[in-house]
C-alpha cells in the first residue's frame, strides 16, 4: 500500500511541491500521475530510455504510450479504491 503521509512529507522537502501546503491523497496522486502522463513526449522518452536497455528488451518500448500508461493508472486507481475502502 502507498503511504501518502510519507510521500507528502518527501514532496514538501524538494522539487515542484517544496514548501507548499499540499494534501497528498489517492485522488491527488492519481490526478498528478495522469497530468504527468498526458504531458510526456513518449517518443522522446523511448529514445532516452532505449540506450539503457539490452537489445532484447528494446521491443518493450513499443508498449510505451499515453494510452498504455493511463490504462495502468486505471488499474492503480482500482487497487487504491480496494485498499482504502473498509
State pLDDT tens for residues 62-76.
999 999 999 999 999
C-alpha to C-alpha distance for 85 and 70, rounded to whole angstroms: 22
Q: Is residue 5 part of a domain?
A: no
**How far, in Å, are 6, 10, 17, 54 from residue 21 at the CA level?**
14, 12, 8, 42
Q: To which residue does cell 532484447 refer?
A: 56
pLDDT at position 77 over 60: yes
- How many domains is the chain built from? 1
Q: What is the pTM of this model?
A: 0.80
Q: Is residue 1 part of a domain?
A: no
Q: Is residue 34 part of a domain?
A: yes
Q: Is residue 78 part of a domain?
A: yes
Q: Is residue 55 part of a domain?
A: yes
Query: For 70, how many CA atoms within 13 A lie in the half-sphere containing its CB?
Result: 12
Locate all alpha helices (DSSP H) within 1-86, ordered by sequence. 4-13, 26-39, 42-50, 66-84
Q: What is the pLDDT, as a whole number, of residue 80?
A: 84
pLDDT, tens digit (0-9, with 9 covering 90-100), for 1-58: 468 888 888 888 988 889 888 888 889 999 999 999 999 999 999 999 999 999 999 9
**Full residue range of the structural domain in which residue 74 is found:** 26-84
Q: What is the pLDDT, as a whole number, of residue 59?
A: 97
Amino acid at each position: 500500500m502507498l503511504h501518502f503521509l510519507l510521500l507528502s512529507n518527501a514532496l514538501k522537502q524538494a522539487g515542484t511541491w517544496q514548501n507548499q501546503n499540499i494534501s497528498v491523497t489517492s485522488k491527488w496522486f492519481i490526478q498528478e500521475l495522469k497530468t504527468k502522463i498526458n504531458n510526456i513526449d513518449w517518443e522522446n522518452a523511448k529514445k532516452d530510455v532505449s540506450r539503457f536497455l539490452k537489445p532484447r528488451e528494446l521491443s518493450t518500448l513499443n508498449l510505451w504510450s499515453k494510452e498504455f500508461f493511463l490504462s495502468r493508472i486505471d488499474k492503480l486507481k482500482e487497487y487504491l479504491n480496494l485498499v482504502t475502502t473498509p
